Chain A
């Protein structure tokens, strides 16, 4: 049934449909709407789930690790500083191979204190062993969150479903919400491979010596690879039931494109508009949207970009001392590919600044007028600032 939902509500509806049994969270803007709705669902019995109030995000993830170890489906949502505080336990959740699902509403890190969108918080967690899925609109949010449980449980790794602050979390859009029966047909009940059981006591997470640890890590690496193929299979299932698929990578008008934008999140929607406008004026712009960031879909990215003359990666994030993080990943993916195009890195929309069609056109013309990138990262729309005395 179609409903008009905020991105936050779309997450909550998916969590309800997934039959999550334990929800824990610590409030932080812009994520709070998600758990507000879920706490209400837990309190009113709309969900048969326990909502655990905790004193910090660190405790929240610890609680979910405990709950998931006991064999139930779990959920949390956080943003920015909250995710940073969880960092230690993100490693624990993945290392313990617990298929926890989290919604992460991208928020800039402080200081300066800023509640608006910036992807650095989630991208800084790229090495924690969590699968990361970046969403463009509310429909994708609800679909991705449901898929996330299936994906996580298929490889025993946790998943982060990532949304842009406000532009997605707080924007109302029509969303097709599956019925419970439909959702159940897609997502079977959770069956843990191992769980805490007083009848068969054993310790979880004991000391692991060098003789075993390396193989454990290799298993995780293999599970990440499997996630890449499982994701495609799960999208097949989903498409059969609901008629929608997104792809780990989506290529738009790349066949004859000279310049291809690489985007993620809500900037993608704006790029779709700009692409149409520029195409109308005879400019050969293409677009590649990256949805699946971990595991990084190297082959699909190479394939989507193989015809491009120039590649412009738009990053709403930054790795200090390096460059935009998507640009890094794209460069790394292409490096061993034959005859790849030069990669132009652009930094835009940091800390919630608008990335308007004009900003994207500026990026297009800059790319078109330079044979090669001026430098690794070009910051778009910087104002003159005085640093005082």
Chain B
């Protein structure tokens, strides 16, 4: 009886251990550097980063993440886009970040902490994302009080769409063109600047 109890307890603890191990893996995003949604650009040791063919994709991703930290692309596009959030899937709601701008297509809006953003969009259907929809945002020293100051032109075109846009999870692929984009962390953050041209 005692032997059986000990055996049962062992299986219980093994099951508990495996459960904890799986849960901590999921909670941490996978453990490795790949756990996050986007890998940061390689460290440069200097205040600016030169864009090359080798790091172009990583830098573009990092710039979009920086922009995403300040602006909800769903708001920029005025489409109820749901982009995968950095740690968890975003709910299909508009953030308050750009509502403060009252941004509309082709309208120049002031950023809360200075600077402007001019957004132009060409969409087939304003109620849902469609392949070919294009969003062009021109930032000029735009500080949305989210830790980043953004300048330059971000040109996004929806190139791929998978899943049902009417659910809260689907995949949107963007073709991205960054022109003279400079993202600078706000003074309260550690100095680090990425430039693109």
B is a partner of A: no
